[in-house]
Every structure is written in structure tokens, then in C-alpha cells.
Structure 1
């Protein structure tokens, strides 16, 4: 880009030329000092870091900034492979955490009738303890209608846990029931 490249083909050709020279002249790479290759990698990596946009990135997407910083530090502290692998694992964990948002909408607590509980979001094992804590905090002496129609995803662990909660809660007096069929995991 700095040399005037404007098309996608120029990017592809850049990679092709590097591959051709590395394959055609492997002995030439052996002559280049390791410190020089490391300096080229550090320089290329530094250019990839959005230094000017770091503050807005931190304010708006703190998780992305943490993944980026941890990856950069891991690459410098260990090696390229392990640093990139750590960054990839952190990005996957962050994505899994963000997509497993589930919350309960509880109505009818004030009256004396049934309490309606509607689950909304993605119910995964990552949020299962929080979900079960919220369900256990509901009054035990009232009927509870559990509505799962707001769930976009229900994994097997959550489906089993909600079924167990429902069976325990039902007991002899039948105080819990599911008003909608469970979402397929």
C-alpha cells in the first residue's frame, strides 16, 4: 500500500513473490541474521497495531482491546506461534462468552397468582449457574410458569438443568410447569 498498490491482486502477488523467493532461494534465508528477521516481524506487527485508534477501541470494545494487547505481549514474550495461538484462544473465549447472554424476565411477583418467567437469549453452560441461581431465588410457595420461547439457543446442559429444576420444583404440589416446549439444542 505504501508503494502504491491499489488492488487485491497486488496483495496476492506480494505473498506469491515471498513464497517464490523463499522456495527458490532457501539458502538466502539462512544468511539473514535471526535478529534481522525478528526485527522485520516486530516492525510488521507494530504496523498492524492500531496505535492511533487505541483509545477509541478501549472505550468502545474493551474485550477486543484486551485480546489485541494480550496477543501482542504474548508474541513478544514467547514466540509468534504461541502468541497468535493465545490470541486466537482468547478471541474464541470472548466470543463464546458474549454470545451466551441469557436473562430472565419475571412477572407476577407482586400478586398472588402464578409467576411467569420468560427466558430470553442464548442459554449455554457458560451462564447456567447464574440462570439456576435466579430460578432458585423465586418464591417456593407459588406456581411458576417457565416460558422458553424467547431462547434462540438452548444447549444440552441447560436443557437438562432446566428439566431437573422443573422436576425438583414440581414436587407433590405441582408448583412449576413449562408453558412452551423446550428449544431444540
Structure 2
């Protein structure tokens, strides 16, 4: 079914449930008539597509032709030499387990080769159903060994681990927690199938400890599907997950020491290419030198662990990075990973915090936190919440040009500590598209402030 979706010239998505129901009913009917089980065959559909087929009538016509051929020329079929049929089966079997296939599986990961050979040997020695069952059990055991914990799966298997919501910008954001493997992939698939293919989608695995090969391969198929339909499908949050292979389908697990990464993720490779195109410096490794962030009010009650995926200009005055910090302690402790921009200024400015005006900001006013009004800019004061101690200095700093700059750009949280600015949009990792927008915003903001 997945292969046919790739071949479909109209880029449609198959209804898997309907197709499986049809196969089941057809197999039942075939069994009552003394026939074999009914299975889908890629060869037939591939030939149909290559000859201009666009709908199910092609398969129906093919079935009618076979019925007529068997009814009219059944005696001719008995004249086909059995060794010829055996040769076809041997050749087909060789293609399914050829050295190239084995090499391809090994490139994904050593554990995939073990799963492949265990499934193959048991299938040949005992039978198909037993082989598949043993293959599934072997996969699960290998996942437990890799994670060195059965608790990760036992505790979280039945928990809802996928959260999806539509952001203000119209993007769909999907967050995955705990683990995502063949055991619970259907939960993620259910959410993804509900999203139109022409939309922007961000899949965040920053809270997920383990992602297996099945999930990675299926996500790649979604990326191709959304790209063909004019949408954008981006996976983030895997930059701290380790893998033994550089293959994009390799399984990934969070490392106990997040500094031993061997292979870059697709997002990191894209950021690296972005740095080359715009003559920027890029460092994927972790950096625990975060003293330059401690003066900001945002981090006053938060514990910063490290920054990574640092993107900076030649002078080092504009730095964009992913950051990991924690809120709360003990059982209330929560790990947060997000993308921020730090701008070093050449002259002192007043300290302030600028955010989008919302319900919580209006509540703050009742608690004594007064919004700093900017004269002759009532629309700015209505749309933005500006907070700071030196009211006069802030009003002088927010010139007409700076006010117009904020009014004509997307909303960002902007904070000043007196000599530098901290800018970010959401408390999550940014997609590559959002990284471009944030860095461009920071460059233009620095020019406006300077």
C-alpha cells in the first residue's frame, strides 16, 4: 500500500483500513471457494500505473482478465513447465534477500540486520506467520536491550504520548513524549492523517526518549507526501538523540551524556548548509558557558543546562542557538528545549521586556505590573505588553522607527538586560524555516536599535 502511494501520479493517500478490510473479506470468500489467501502485489499495480492507470478500475479489469483467461485457457496453463515457475520463485526470492538488500539493511543499523535474518530463517524453517511473530518479538527485545530498560515501554505503552494543536500562525505542532516505535506508532499516525497535506507541520521529539526505525521511515514518507502537495513537514527535537548509523532511518535514543553525538540529524545538516550559504559559523556541540544569559529576567527562576546548535555571525554579536533549561525541582521539575537569539549591543539601553498583549498580561496589571505606554502609538500599546523599571528611559528608547519595526513584524518575546537582547518566539525548538525568520528578525532589529 505504501509503495502504491509513492507511485500514484495524483499523490493520493490510501485508506489503509478500507484496503485491509477488503483483503480480509476477499480472503474469506476465496477460502470458501477453496482458493488461496488474497494479498496485494506491487508488480500488478506498478504495471497498471506505468500504462496510465489512475484508479481502481485498472485492478478490476486485471482481475476480470484473469478470470476469463483461466476459464477459457485453463488447459494451456498446465503446459507451462514447473521448473520455469520454480525459477521465477527462486529469482523473486533472491531479489527479496539479495546482497544489495542485506547491505542496505546493514547501513540502517546492525540491529536491523539481526531482525532481518532472524525473521528470514524462522520463516523458512517454520512458516510465515511464525516468522513474523518471532521477528516482532526479536525487535521488541532489541529495543529493550538498546535502551537498557523495560520500564520505558511498560510504563508508557498505554499512555497518550502524542499532543497536536494548531498554532496562531496556522502551523500544526505535534509533540511526542516517552517513546515512539512500532508498538504505538498508530497514535502518531492517527494525528498526522488528520492534517491536510498542503499545511505546515512540525513534529517535535524533544520529549521523546526513543524513536525506532519504523517511525523514522514513515516520517520520511510523510515528508515526501507533504512536499508533493505543497506543504512542509519538518521533524525537530532529535539533535540530542544518538545513533550508531548516519542513515536517516536509523533508530535514535536520548543519550545519558548529551555530548557524544556521532551523526548529525537532518535538521542539523540543513542548519549547517544554511550557515555555509550565509557565511555564518555553526557549532552543533554542547556549550555549558551560559553566563551571558543569567542576567535576563526570563531565566531568573530557571536553571540553564547548556546550549547547542549555535549559529552566529562572523563578529559573534548575533547568536542563535537551541537551549535546554529546567523549571521547578524534584517531582515538579520539567525540562524545556527551545530556540533563542542573543544580540550583543555596542551601547547601553534600558532594561525591558516586550511581549504580545494577551489575557495573562492584562491580569498582570491588577497585580501592580503596569504596561509602559508609548505616546502617539496607541495601537502599539494595545498590541504589545511593555514592562520595565525606568519608564522615562524606555519611552525615549522606543522611537517611531523602533515602534514601526515591531508593528510590521511577527510577534516575538524581546528582553533587554541593559547591554544585550534576548529574542524568541515559542518555548519549543524552531524549525529551519522559523530559524531563518528569527535570525533575519534579529539582524534587522540590531540595525534598527543601533
TM-score normalized by the length of structure 1 = 0.41
Instruction: Tell me the TM-score normalized by structure 2.
Output: 0.18
Structure of greater Rg: 2
More helix by share: 1
Larger relative contact order (C-alpha < 8 A, sep ≥ 6)?
A: 1
